[in-house]
Amino acid sequence: MIKAFAPATVANLGVGFDVLGLALDNPGDSIIAEFTDRPGVTIAAIDGDGGKLPREAHKNTAGVAALSVLRALNSDQGVALTIHKGIAAAGGLGSSAASAVGAAVAVNLLLGEPLTKAELLPACLDGEAIASGYHPDNVAPCLFGGLTLAYGIEAHQIQPLPVPQGLSLALVTPHVEVPTAKARAVLPQEIPLKSMVKQTAAVARLIRAIYEGDLESMAVAMESDCVIEPARAHLMPMLFEARRAAKAAGAFGLVISGAGPTLCAICASRETAQRVVSALNAVYQEVGIGCTTRTALVTTEGASALAYDRL
């Protein structure tokens, strides 16, 4: 029996739609994998999801990823999964990706770890695909850790980026659901040439700021999204009020995390991030919207061997 932990992630980083992401040191999903006499993959139990996730393996991101691992190894071994959801679904923190990555890595470990992380990527993407399509902006940082640039779906197209010193994050998740399918449905299918140029320049500025370790410039570039945020802003309650409050409390900037509704503020220290989460909490309390706030750092571990317990 193997227990794996897969971290939550922040995708897009504002302007880097479907190509940039980072792994958080909290929260995360835990997946237990164990052998069973029943061939294939069985979902033994799920907790922390409020009964919302499918229990059929072929409909669950964890189950699909686990099945993909077995297929890759030509294994007829039976595996049962127990899924402990630490990441709320439809919250913008890579919940579906974490379940897929956690299951793939747990099953691989259960079978003696025959596959490398790079070789597990296709299975993780197979799982994520049933929730939000084949794009690795959440899967890549969850699996490999750190801050990642993905310009394709193959392992050699996933590039690690340096984590700027001092980077701390303040996150708020208002208690409203924004399903990824809904958030993607509102996106424009075509954009003006001027918008493409502006967005491309912002991504370039962001990458440069990351390599220079310039948190303030990094946040400015992240907030320069002229394509995705304008289309999704109406789905994020109090987005602009939260941005103003975060900056007043010391944050350099605030953007939508993934498909939302979680918002992520860029801060220069854990102490600043603590002040920012207090300010963000006050924004939602004032209008009677429940929310969950937390501070986080970027974890470079991802779903690594150090994150597992052999039970």
pLDDT at 75 over 60: yes
| In a shared domain, residues 29 and 85 | yes
> Domain containing 120 — which CATH number?
3.30.230.10
C-alpha 289/C-alpha 311 separation (Å) is: 41
| In a shared domain, residues 145 and 262 | no
| In a shared domain, residues 280 and 305 | no
The rounded percent of the chain whose pLDDT value lies above 70 is 97
Give the CB-side neighbour count of residue 41, counting CA atoms within 13 A.
Answer: 31
Per-residue pLDDT band at 133 (split at 50, 70, 90): confident
Phi, psi of 267 (to 5 degrees): -130, 160
| In a shared domain, residues 292 and 305 | no
| In a shared domain, residues 240 and 306 | no
CA 251 to chain centre: 21
Per-residue pLDDT band at 132 (split at 50, 70, 90): confident
Q: Given this model, what pLDDT does residue 305 score?
A: 53
| In a shared domain, residues 143 and 48 | yes
- Mean pLDDT over each residue of the chain, to the nearest integer: 95
Helix axes 117-132, 61-72, angle to 10 degrees: 140
* Residue of 34, 128, 223, 229 marked catalytic: 128
pLDDT at 307 over 50: no
Average pLDDT for residues 138-165, to the nearest whole number?
Answer: 97
Average pLDDT for residues 253-260, to the nearest whole number?
Answer: 96
299 is catalytic: no
| In a shared domain, residues 128 and 48 | yes
What lies within 8 Å, CB to CB, of 115 at 6+ separation is: 69, 72, 73, 108
Number of H helices, E strands in the chain: 10, 11
Average pLDDT for residues 74-82, to the nearest whole number?
Answer: 96
| In a shared domain, residues 231 and 198 | yes
Average pLDDT for residues 72-100, to the nearest whole number?
Answer: 95
| In a shared domain, residues 148 and 174 | no
> Domain containing 214 — which CATH number?
3.30.70.890
Give the domain extent around 42. Answer: 2-160+299-310
Q: Given this model, what pLDDT does residue 15 score?
A: 97
Q: Given this model, what pLDDT does residue 64 score?
A: 98
| In a shared domain, residues 211 and 127 | no
pLDDT at 42 over 60: yes
42 is catalytic: no
Q: Given this model, what pLDDT does residue 306 score?
A: 44
Given the DSSP bridges, would you call strands 168-174 and 263-267 parallel, antiparallel or unpaired? Answer: antiparallel
45-60 residue pLDDT tens: 999 998 999 999 999 9
106-131 residue pLDDT tens: 999 999 999 999 999 999 999 999 99
The rounded percent of the chain whose pLDDT value lies above 90 is 91
* Residue of 61, 180, 272, 295 marked catalytic: 180
Q: Per the structure, how many domains does the chain have?
A: 2
Average pLDDT for residues 181-208, to the nearest whole number?
Answer: 95
